[in-house]
Copies of this chain bind each other. A is one copy, B any other.
């Protein structure tokens, strides 16, 4: 039933978390069924796109009825890989690393931080919640011994590539990268970037070019 996932486009993949979030909202409102047309209204995609997207993964709907919210929420969660837990480490225990360590929502979703790593001796040994900050020199060994799935890189840009190299040596499976660089890793390691300055600069562009389009009086 499921098509070859290698053919799913990134455009579709990046919409899935949004479906997941809105379906949760509907569940919380005790809405049990929804048509692509209604969902279109709340989520902002076209009904056609919603049906196309969902059909990449199987026929979750029922003609004449629509979609069962509970079942669809569960299925999309499964497609996203949210039906399991992931063991993560955070590399870089500065402000951002600590913020992520403290953000319990990720843990609730199944992404459990097991340790943090830093090169600063003043930080090593400290704990954020119950997560210990360890010496970056031990990260490779730690990943292997503790079966870590995901490394979260929160270092400054210049350190990020060498950190990534260490994670790869430890056989990390995926990297969530907050450093403002594009990492070079082997093809079997998945990298997802959060490039904050790129997002901020995009906002800046839009402020400069797209403002006041509809407010002629100012």
Contacts and interface: CB of A to CB of B under 8 A. Distances in A.
Tallying the copies of this chain within the complex gives: 2
A104 B106 CA distance: 26
Interface stretch (A112-120, A130-138, A173-181): A173-181
Given A98-B95, A99-B96, A201-B20, A188 B213 contact: yes
A13 B211 CA distance: 15
B196 A150 contact: no
A194 B201 CA distance: 12
Interface stretch (A30-38, A64-72, A79-87, A139-147): A79-87
A48 to B, nearest CB: 20
A60 interface: no
A75 to B, nearest CB: 13
A202 interface: yes
Contacts of A62: none
Contacts of A81: 201, 204-205, 207-209
A16 interface: yes
Nearest to A106: B200
A205 B15 CA distance: 11
Interface string A188-201: 10101011111111
B205 A200 contact: no
A5 interface: yes
Contacts of A206: 13, 174, 190, 192
14 contacts: A14-B202, A16-B205, A80-B201, A81-B204, A96-B103, A106-B197, A106-B200, A111-B204, A150-B203, A173-B207, A176-B199, A190-B207, A192-B206, A194-B196
Given A81-B201, A99-B99, A190-B203, 20 more contacts: A5-B209, A17-B198, A18-B198, A44-B182, A80-B205, A81-B207, A81-B209, A86-B207, A96-B99, A103-B196, A106-B196, A106-B197, A106-B200, A109-B201, A111-B200, A173-B211, A187-B213, A188-B211, A188-B213, A190-B207
Task: In the A-B complex, list the 8 residue pairs whose CB atoms are closest, starting with the nearest.
Answer: A81-B208, A95-B99, A192-B203, A17-B198, A188-B215, A17-B201, A5-B209, A99-B99
